Structure 1
Amino acid sequence: MEQSQGKHPAKRSPGRPKRRQEDTPMNEFILKTASALFMEYGYEPVSLQQIAQVCGVTKASIYYHFENKAQLFTAAVTAMMQKARNASLRIMQQDKPLYDRLVELAENKLRFPHGDFETIMRDASASLAPEQLEEIRVSEDQIHDVLTVSFTEAIKNGEVRSAHPLLMAHTLASMLMIGNREIAKEFAPSAGELAQEIVNMFWNGVGVQEA
């Protein structure tokens, strides 16, 4: 157990971390760090001790905020999904043609390459409780909902052909997931170039064909 030192010892619960100099709430800092590590290396290779070391805190500090690795993983992934949803919503609510918004959305997602999310989830699933898996899936669906709403409006406005908007959302998400793998390769095109190429391929399938 850590001992408080100095002229004014603070009474803290065991493992409670001190405030960081940048004054970021510790639980948010831990979530951000854990998200980056899980997305880069996967679930199994990352330990709470490693997360603590990168955060510059003790392992007990991690346990103060999160009961175990599974809870931290769930919280980290859902927080990451919420940020992705908010970013997607901001882009898709702009007053621009749908095509331009999709290119911006694609470039935003490809600018931060990470590991294959489906593979990461497959490896983590055995360690997560059913309710944790459901929480993650719900947060992922909320991102798709943003695109589904946009595609529904675009169909009504005649910007894209009539098709199932949720299927469109999942199709584009899958294409971006593949693009995310490509962007990590040594000789991959830039995020902007690949975003344009992916959206062009997608648009060829859903765009309104001129007579």
Structure 2
Amino acid sequence: MNTPHSKDQEPKRSPGRPKRLEQDAPMNELILQTASRLFMEYGYEPVSLQQIAKVCGVTKASIYYHFINKSQLFTAAVTSMMGMARSSSLRIMQQEDLPLYDRLVTLAEVKLRFPHGDFETIMREAGGSLSQDQREEIRLSEEKIHDILVDAFRTGIDKGEIRHVQPLLMAHTLASMLMLGNREISKDFGTSPADLAREIIDMFWNGVSVGAKVSQS
């Protein structure tokens, strides 16, 4: 006689394992987004996997299902964040119907709209816990963002919008200025991201532009 299979006869899943494979991607994305936000706000050491799990509304075992340990999650979260930043930067800088100056202002405002902790400090804090491969992976993801600016600056030089300055030097200089701007926004001095973005780009532009200084109006 055939008997129906009861739920008790189903193989038990390991703790924290999502019930359906199609849940893996959304859960993975939730963990990465939450982890990157917490790491960027509080730094590497103060944030635990248990805290990340709590904010995600899942068990710690769910975190371990997707990521082996904290350093792997940190690396994945940071590179994912930088990947999104690269895509956003690329969309802005590819709008070649706009002057380079205007695109840089837009880029700066987008970056300053989401203040976070000092990335260099966070990386120094995490450095001892990361493998060489993990540090290299993060470094390469950061370089991909700089490459977008390098290409834009080369085109700007060819068009006569900016002086013949080393494009990579300009990219790193602007990135450093925006990092300092992020610190000012984080201090909550009341300066809006839009105003500070224009101030920073004006300072940068007045150093690299071919023509007269940009109006402060």
TM-score normalized with structure 1 length: 0.91
Q: CA separation in 2, counterparts of 1:126 and 1:209?
A: 47
Verify: 1:47 aligned to 2:51, yes or no. no
* Runs of at least 5 residues in structure 1 that lack an aligned partner in the other structure: 1-5
* Residues 40 and 159 (structure 1), Cα distance of their counterparts in 2 relative to 1, 3 Å cut: same
SS at match of 1:127: coil
How much does 1:187 deviate? 1.9
CA contact (8 A) 2:18 2:24 kept: no
Look up the SS of the partner of 2:128 in the other structure: helix
Aligned pairs, how many?
203
- SS of 1:25 mapped into structure 2: helix
Q: CA deviation at 1:24?
A: 6.7
Aligned to 1:202: 204
Question: In structure 2, what is the equivalent of residue 130 of structure 1?
Answer: 132
- Name the structure 1 match of 2:99: 97
8 Å Cα contact 1:172-1:202 kept in structure 2: yes
In the alignment, what sits opposite 1:36? 37
Query: Shift of residue 209 of structure 1?
Result: 3.0
Instruction: Measure the CA separation in 1 of the matches of 2:110 and 2:52.
Output: 26
**Larger deviation, residues 185-194 vs 117-126:** 185-194
Q: Return the offset for 1:88.
A: 0.1
Question: Does the CA contact (< 8 Å) of 1:70 and 1:127 recur in 2?
Answer: yes
Q: How far apart, in 1, do the equivalents of 2:71 and 2:141 lie? A: 16
* Equivalent runs, 1:154-193 vs 2, <5 Å: 154-193=156-195
Larger radius of gyration: 2
Deviation of 1:121 (Å) = 0.1
Shift of 1:14: 3.1
Q: SS of the residue aligned with 2:13?
A: coil
Partner deviation per Cα, 1:65-97 (whole Å, 9 max, x = no partner): 000000000000000000000000000000200
Name the structure 1 match of 2:61: 60
Q: Structure 1 residue 11: deviation in Å? A: 4.9
1:33/1:8 Cα in 2 relative to 1: closer, same or farther (>3 Å)?
farther
Match of 1:26 in 2: 27
- Aligned counterparts of 1:46 and 1:187: Cα–Cα separation in 2: 26
Structure 1 contact 182–188 (Cα < 8 Å) conserved: no
TM superposition score normalised by structure 2: 0.89
Provide, for residues 7-29 of structure 1, a one-character-per-residue CA deviation record: whole Å limited to 9, x for no partner.
9978534321357xx99710010
Give the Cα–Cα distance (whole angstroms) in 1 for the partners of residues 190 and 175 of structure 2. Answer: 19
Q: Distance in 2 between matches of 1:66 and 1:23?
A: 12
